[in-house]
């Protein structure tokens, strides 16, 4: 029933590491929020709808950095890690809906661009994600 002193010490160190990581994440989120990162928002990609559709990709960001990209055809879950003007987008599970080949290719192109994003900045209601190419998202007004 009783743990050895070494085991208790390891558990205490692990617990303190978890607390420190949580605090660091909270500080990073607070720094990003101070700089105007649009947590708890829905943003729409600055793009025209594809022929035959009204759909334009959008991004929904939660306060903890959890995000969902609604692409041209499919959706992809993500986690955004924001520190100062640096951003890392960790893409997760994707839907596997079958669409027209041009929409599927547009999804693949957008995913590739998201994986290369390294920095961000705000310009009014515009969030610019910068990588090899810039992706511009407008804050949704609804």
Q: What is the mean pLDDT of each run of 10 residues along the chain (142 residues)?
A: 58 55 51 73 95 93 96 96 96 93 96 97 94 94 64
Locus of tokens 């957008």: 110
**57 near 47, Cβ under 8 Å?**
yes
Asked if the structure places residue 88 within a domain, the reply is yes
What confidence score (pLDDT) does residue 56 get? Answer: 96
The number of CA neighbours under 13 Å toward the Cβ of 93 is 2
Asked if the structure places residue 7 within a domain, the reply is no
What confidence score (pLDDT) does residue 34 get? Answer: 47
CA distance 118 to 114: 9
CA distance 73 to 10: 47
Asked if the structure places residue 26 within a domain, the reply is no
What confidence score (pLDDT) does residue 1 get? Answer: 45
What confidence score (pLDDT) does residue 52 get? Answer: 87
Residue span of the structural domain in which 132 resides: 35-139
What confidence score (pLDDT) does residue 113 get? Answer: 97
- Number of structural domains the chain divides into: 1
**Among 72, 60, 74, 79, residue whose Cα is nearest residue 117:** 79
Asked if the structure places residue 133 within a domain, the reply is yes
The predicted model scores a pTM of 0.74
What confidence score (pLDDT) does residue 8 get? Answer: 63
Q: What's the start-to-end Cα distance of the chain, in Å? A: 57
- Rounded to 5 degrees, what are φ and ψ at 101? -55, -35
Asked if the structure places residue 18 within a domain, the reply is no
CATH code, domain with 115:
2.40.128.270
Asked if the structure places residue 19 within a domain, the reply is no
The rounded radius of gyration (Å) of the Cα atoms in the chain is: 19
Locus of tokens 């160190």: 13
Asked if the structure places residue 125 within a domain, the reply is yes
Q: Residue 19: which residues within 8 A CB-CB, separation 6 or more?
A: none
């Amino acid at each position: 029933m009783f743990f050895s002193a070494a085991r208790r010490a390891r558990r205490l160190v692990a617990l303190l590491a978890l607390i420190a990581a949580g605090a660091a994440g909270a500080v990073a989120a607070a720094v990003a929020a101070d700089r105007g990162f649009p947590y708890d928002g829905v943003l729409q990609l600055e793009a025209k709808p594809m022929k035959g559709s009204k759909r334009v990709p959008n991004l929904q960001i939660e306060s903890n950095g959890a995000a969902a990209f609604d692409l041209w055809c499919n959706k992809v879950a993500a986690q955004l890690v924001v520190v100062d003007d640096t951003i890392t987008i960790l893409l997760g599970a994707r839907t596997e809906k079958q669409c027209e080949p041009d929409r599927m290719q547009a999804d693949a192109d957008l995913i590739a661009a998201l994986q290369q994003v390294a920095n961000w900045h705000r310009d009014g209601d515009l969030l610019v994600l910068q990588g090899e190419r810039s992706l511009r998202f407008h804050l949704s007004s609804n």
